[in-house]
Amino acid sequence: MRTRLRTTLAAAAALSGLLLALAPAVTASATPATTPTSAPVAGADAYCGYYDGNATTRRVDTGDRVREVQCLINHWAGGEALAVDGGFGPRTESWVVHFQDVNGLEVDGIVGPQTWSVLRAL
């Protein structure tokens, strides 16, 4: 009985150590590649600091426009829903479709002027 308890405790300690060792890597991967230049101001339109225009942004686009979309969706979703990596892939497209559906917009997965407007009016 005592051997089983020691084995269980040793396994739990090893697993805890592994999780703690991985935690910094997970945190670092969620950090934006580019640091935003300004923070959102209360009462103002949402702005993450990557891009302030409203050019059409869609799947396979890359760069600051996509980072802004990802950051704004994370702001809307209330957490780290997407990695702010600047790549408009299937996961970003899925979140854009969800955002458009929930907000009564045309559901096409493309961030055009209307979707930008609603994203920023969070």
The string of pLDDT tens digits covering residues 28-57 is: 334 444 444 444 444 457 789 999 999 999
Q: Are residues 119 and 86 in the same domain?
A: yes
In this prediction, residue 71 carries a pLDDT of 95
Q: Which domain holds residue 54?
A: 31-122
* pTM score above 0.75: no
pLDDT at 78: 84
Element (H, E) at 98: helix 90-102
Total domains present in the chain: 2
Q: 5-35, pLDDT tens digit by residue?
A: 455 555 555 544 444 444 443 333 344 444 4
Of 97, 43, 44, 52, the closest CA to residue 71 belongs to 52
Alpha carbon distance, N-terminus to C-terminus of the chain: 58
Distance in angstroms (rounded) separating the CA atoms of residues 102 and 104: 6
Contact 61, 112 (CB under 8 A): no
Same domain, 22 and 61: no
Under 8 Å between Cβ of 57 and 114: no
